[in-house]
Structure 1
């Protein structure tokens, strides 16, 4: 497909030390992009960058510790670097936690995005890849959900993502210079296959896979399954799990396609099929070689019975589709946790050689 503008070469990655952000840095560096990172390390650590550089074989261009709501500090980064495009990962992401901390979620996710957009505007940067979420669809019922599914966010986290999409759409309608790609996906999971990068939350994990990995490695006693009375095949929630390496590949492909057309475009990412909580427990048990204990607990606010994405539109547009399934997610997540039982604190361990 012909492009109206050249592919951007210098990309600012907000939240680049985080789970998805760090994997995205490797992906972008591997494909020739220059990468600048900002992160406040509220749920991450600067230790990841030595690992990113080891995997990519070259350095991240620059890393700045700052809160993206600090527009003065963020502007100084744009002053120092000629940024062509932004990939905006910096956000709080736990739906259930957001019901207990709505102010913090709106402040960071929406306030941080508007501060970033002001700074981009001041420096003439009009190209953005925005990682959104299929959680904006809320309790939309069973079956794969496409981009035209009515939005019904059920948590402050989901609402904050939808608000940011609305802001971006308004900006694109006002100014034809802007090109924005919003990527909606349900549950990113897994780890880099080397075992060097993975999901290492600073606090008690709110999501299934990192909690399960900590149970498997002995950091936690057992998993709580929140609800077994949903109208699904085994009563537990069904999700479309997207391997983090597939997710970051899609973001890189989105950067490649920013020049295809002006304005805002929205695409789902995912498999179009889901796995239940019990499916994931079984798959992770097989990956780590032992059954993992769990208890059933009441449902959590904002949870839905099923969240599965219809991603056929992005396949038609770019030819992109995921290639790593649930077994790959669990295998790679377990390798990272096994090689890093205490997370990134344990920097002396080496990745195993892939056969």
Structure 2
């Protein structure tokens, strides 16, 4: 039988687990639809290319139009020349928002589109590999940005896997948590699952925050002179760290529920317990037994006198013990 205290002990960890799952859902839907203001505001990193300029500070779009087809006379670097050609061919959008499932690209005056990719690759996305530069596309990018991109591509897969595991284990935690209402063993199993969910949620949050912080700094250092600006999102990091906090609280309170507030036993308390106690006889008492011949009713129980010899009565030729021990 489940007690009210047991149910109350389960309500809080179950509620924070639901909160963790909802927060992870917000992280997952970020940057999956450029037409939704809610989803557009959920991004790990945004690259703003709406005001591209040359290294000298002039408009890159105007210079690219006049220099298109003669890249040898344009710009101070191969990257600037490739960027100008890509801009002239309309390969570059105003903004790129990176989320968990991919990125959204679009212009400020029109809607964009979502692309499912594990990692954002500016060389292919901006069309730099389709320009007429004679250099290898990897050599076009500044060296520090090239290293940062390689790190980002490797770590982004781990971040994706960690969030997927965290979401799946948190959902499993809610299912198993229903059995915790009945017993402390159920709470113990749920607390173990909750610990796994917290580990992957915290690991994904820490890795994503640190990695995109480094990537944003490198992006701005390498490309600020071309009018590009990178920034980290706000809402998605709030969501992921709220999920981490909820997962941590859930683990603590699931453990707490496995140590206390046991379900009510049918032999302790309640009507069943009281009826069992009332039915028990006091020890060392005798109960009068009626005569098998006379049919006399049994009398009240007599206390134990402490003597070992109990008198016997004899009727006719048969003897019987007038008292029995219960």
Query: TM-score w.r.t. structure 1 length?
Result: 0.19
Which has the higher relative contact order, 1 or 2, with Cα contacts under 8 A spaced 6 or more apart? 2
Q: Which structure's residues are more often helix, by fraction?
A: 2
* Greater gyration radius: 2
